Structure 1
Amino acid sequence: MDIGIKKIGLSSGIIAFFLVLAALCLFSQYPLLALYGMFTLFIIIRSTWTRYQPTVIFFWFVYQWVQVMAGIWYADIIGNRFEIVFRNNSVEKTIILCFTGILLQVFVVKAVLAKQKLYTLDQLKEAASRINMNRLIILYVVSAALYPLLFKLAINFGEVTQVILTVTKIKMLFTIMLVILLFIRGEKKTLILLILLFEFITGFLTYFSSFKDVIIICLICYLSFIRQVKLSTILKLSPLLILLFTLLVFWSAVKPKYRTYVNEGTRAQQVQVESSDALKKILDLAGAFNGKDFQKGLYSLAHRIQYVFFLSKVVDRIPELTPYEDGELMLSSLRFVIVPRFLDPDKGIHDASVKTSKYTGYRIAGMSKGTSMAIGYYGDAYIDFGPIGMMIPIIIIVILVGWYYRFLMSIKINLIMVYAITMTFVYNIGYFESDIIVILGNIKNGFIMNLAMIFTLYPVINRYLTSGIIKKHDVYGMNKQSLSSTL
């Protein structure tokens, strides 16, 4: 039996591989800055990745790290200094602030989760053995059928849009449960893989790149159940990571044409054509995709992933041209999130681009143009309090994220379902590029919804899934024929 719980193991091969990556930083235009980034990544890995626990907090930090580190990568790809690529003189200072902020957040969330109850692989196997797979698949099919209807309702009824969008995450919850059971029990592989393929294909038919979600979900689940990271782990993940990278490059290249087609030139952030037409369009774009398009997509992706451009421009302008807001942004954000619309009919619609335009000096297209671009919650904190004071709000944010994680992990139902709930809702909190209103709103809506579901739907689903088991599974021998034996 595996009863040990500790931080994820790193083999000597992985340590050597990491040192090679660090050595490659010396070839960057900004070697010390890149090395600081690699040090930050190492601390993230050692502090937030615990074996057999949901790795969604780990992913949350890694994704934010990528969005900062990509600023260095982008300048190196272009082959020019920050001042030329980003057209301001504050990029280096901004990246240092961001890595420092991420490190502080890591140390704080580590303290918040220090007393979090941890689970063993044997406990997960026991919980998995009690799930009725057939009934879980039925619930997935029902949620997938209802998803388009709920999404349309969310768009057409603005007063409850966020509530309905939160409910639609139930489909992701069932998908994650299927992936976890695929790794632990290894049953119904063909059917579950077909479901994942369906999620992947339909993800291309949305306005946003939701096809990537199913790949990331599989990655998060996989990383949650490995004992030690080895070079073989990277080799196993390489096809998935290469696929994800290639698809993101493709999407970055064809996205403008595809979106113009599916919204019929209305600039609305929704698909207004039939699914078959959207699929035909994406296939046509794939058929015409060539090397020139790949290069275009690569540069576009590198620019899109990095998210220090707007923030560095803010740092460049504030307080030299515009004074700090001294907390006004935070207060207005809290009012927007906390006060319901029926108490404030003049609340308006949140358009992050308005704030971005104001504080960067750029004219940024907004909701009326079918887009919204935020500075990011680090930028919101900087605008209010400057380079030192900004650390307080971002620390408060990560404390809320940690508490939210602990709340979700404390739900008293089947452990597999608890893991899926936690992965679903923490994954959808928001990231480095997210406006602070979005992050606070997602935490608030997710907390309220899950609190309500604890007393209503979750117990019903739990009873439905854990009753009517045809056979009792061999708990300790379960992984002999499952994918988890390869971890």
Structure 2
Amino acid sequence: MLFLCSGALWKKDESPVLAFCIGYQWLFVMIGYIYYLITGRFLASNPGDVEGAVFLSMLGFLVMTVGIRLAFKAMRTLSRKSSLRRENSEPYNIKYIFWIIILLYVINWFIEINPYRFFGLTQLFDQMLSFRSVFLVLLFLEIASQGKGYIYGIGAASFFFLPTAAGSLLSAWSTLFFMLFLVFISEWKPWLKTPIMRMRNKKILTGAVGAAVILCTLGLIWQGGGVKGSWRRSLSMEVEHVKPIEKMGILGGLVKEGTLQFDFQGDYLSLIERMSGVYVFTQVLDYVPKVISHEQGRLTWRAIEHALKPRFLFPDKPGLGSNSSLVIKYTGYWVAGEESGTSIGLTYMAEFYVDYGKIGMFIPLFFWGLLIGLTYRLFFVFSPSHRFACAAVITAYLQPFASYEGEIAYLLGGLGLVFLTYGTLLLFLGSWFHRLLRLNSVGSRVKHALSQGLEP
């Protein structure tokens, strides 16, 4: 199922971000199940209907893939226009992009930017800040494409990574490695057999594997080495009002301590348990409708209403509450919630099951895939160049489409807001950015063409 869905969504000369998101969700379904098949031990207290949850999830991925592909087919005319932009796309100036990134992120080193201080504009302000990452991905894409400027990539990655890691309770640092992995895979073109491209493809594949290995290693230290818990406790106490640069030092000390205490045998189980997102769905299948009846669409309409009423237009809109409350209600098990500073998601597939049952759940999953595909294609229409569009979709879809454990209200609202924010900025400022960043040197264009295995 993984290869079927990924193959259907991985389009030539485009970022495989949608295929990656399906693959990442697949991991959260399968990793705990595979461990269960090998050891006979389920990481949750009760395996529940684990086979049923895995089967429904796999079928759900297939249905979403069909929805995305149909959206692509419906947008063929607009896709032809974006393909013309790809053919006429010019390389961007790596140095210019680097300095834009420095200007955009320098404030994060000295001031804690908290979007939640802007009540009513929190989500909008947060998405505008996240748009800065488009330039970071654009820089990585240009470096991989042009085969030069690696020092700029290392500098920009460090400038982004340190304050991002030190400024979040969550594992926001992992975003950088997801971006790098997607950039490498985007530039991997095994169908081009020229000697230059073969050598280039080997380097790109090595980089992708390296990014994945570093991510897994840091994930083990973060989750299994106890860094995550220690860092959250620090942020909730005396570190909360410390300057970002000082936070980096504190986090660095925790990482060093976690590395010294690292025990692979015990720590890898902690990471597997964290990534076993399907276990909640297994409990829901045992609880609904045996104890609680299906909701007949209540959760879906709650999500749609929440998404259609952004807080900056409806400041009095009530909050959704903790995700954990849904888990408690539809599984019958108590789980940690807001009182402990954490939250456990019901998973959007389990929500659709609670609403519509084993058959009906695939209807909203199809429309969710259709919406993903339509918005994805529109990014290529709004963007001033194919390269800019690839950078935008890599940044935009990692949050609302890569999460298996997410609540549909947050996923739907997140997709709508990121599409409106990014789409507006690309539509009105994209052409200006394109002119500013273009690489106008004839010699540089020739070198770029040669690096692609093309005629200059």
Stretches of structure 1 that go unaligned for 5 or more consecutive residues are: 1-39
Asked if the contact 2:48/2:286 (under 8 Å) is kept, the reply is: yes
Match of 1:53 among 6, 9, 14: 14
- Distance in 1, matches of 2:64 and 2:111, equals 35
Superposed displacement of residue 436, structure 1: 0.3
Asked if the contact 1:53/1:118 (under 8 Å) is kept, the reply is: no
The aligned amino acid for 1:188 is G
Encode CA deviations 1:366-400: one digit per residue, 9 max, x unaligned.
33432222111101101101111111111111111
- Distance in 1, matches of 2:373 and 2:359, equals 22
Partner of 1:478: 448
Q: CA RMSD in A?
A: 3.0
Partner of 1:256: 229
Superposed displacement of residue 210, structure 1: 1.8
Match of 2:49 among 70, 77, 90: 90
The aligned amino acid for 1:175 is L
The structure-2 alpha-carbon separation of the partners of 1:236 and 1:139, relative to structure 1 and needing over 3 Å to count, comes to: closer
The structure-2 alpha-carbon separation of the partners of 1:361 and 1:249, relative to structure 1 and needing over 3 Å to count, comes to: same
The aligned amino acid for 2:34 is W
Aligned runs of 1:378-389 on 2, under 5 Å?
Answer: 378-389=349-360
Partner of 1:332: 302
Asked if the contact 2:115/2:125 (under 8 Å) is kept, the reply is: yes
Partner of 1:279: 248
The aligned amino acid for 2:176 is V
Higher relative contact order (CA 8 A, sep 6+): 2
- Distance in 1, matches of 2:154 and 2:84, equals 25
Aligned runs of 1:147-296 on 2, under 5 Å?
Answer: 152-205=113-166, 206-228=168-190, 237-253=208-224, 254-264=227-237, 271-288=240-257, 289-290=259-260, 293-296=263-266
Greater mean deviation of Cα atoms: 214-223 or 278-287: 278-287
Aligned runs of 1:32-71 on 2, under 5 Å?
Answer: 40-71=1-32
- Distance in 2, matches of 1:346 and 1:453, equals 26
Partner of 2:194: none
- Distance in 1, matches of 2:7 and 2:314, equals 46
- Distance in 2, matches of 1:314 and 1:170, equals 36
- 1:80 is the counterpart of 2:2: no
Match of 1:113 among 72, 84, 98: 72
- Distance in 2, matches of 1:458 and 1:147, equals 24
Superposed displacement of residue 449, structure 1: 1.4
Stretches of structure 2 that go unaligned for 5 or more consecutive residues are: 192-197
Encode CA deviations 1:213-253: one digit per residue, 9 max, x unaligned.
11111111111122228996765543332211111000102
Identity across matched positions, percent: 21
The structure-2 alpha-carbon separation of the partners of 1:189 and 1:208, relative to structure 1 and needing over 3 Å to count, comes to: same
Superposed displacement of residue 152, structure 1: 2.9
Asked if the contact 1:310/1:375 (under 8 Å) is kept, the reply is: yes
Greater mean deviation of Cα atoms: 191-200 or 229-238: 229-238
Partner of 1:32: none
- Distance in 1, matches of 2:304 and 2:83, equals 40
- 1:366 is the counterpart of 2:337: yes
Match of 2:288 among 298, 318, 326: 318
Match of 2:422 among 424, 447, 450: 450
- 1:127 is the counterpart of 2:89: yes
Partner of 1:10: none
Asked if the contact 2:220/2:271 (under 8 Å) is kept, the reply is: yes
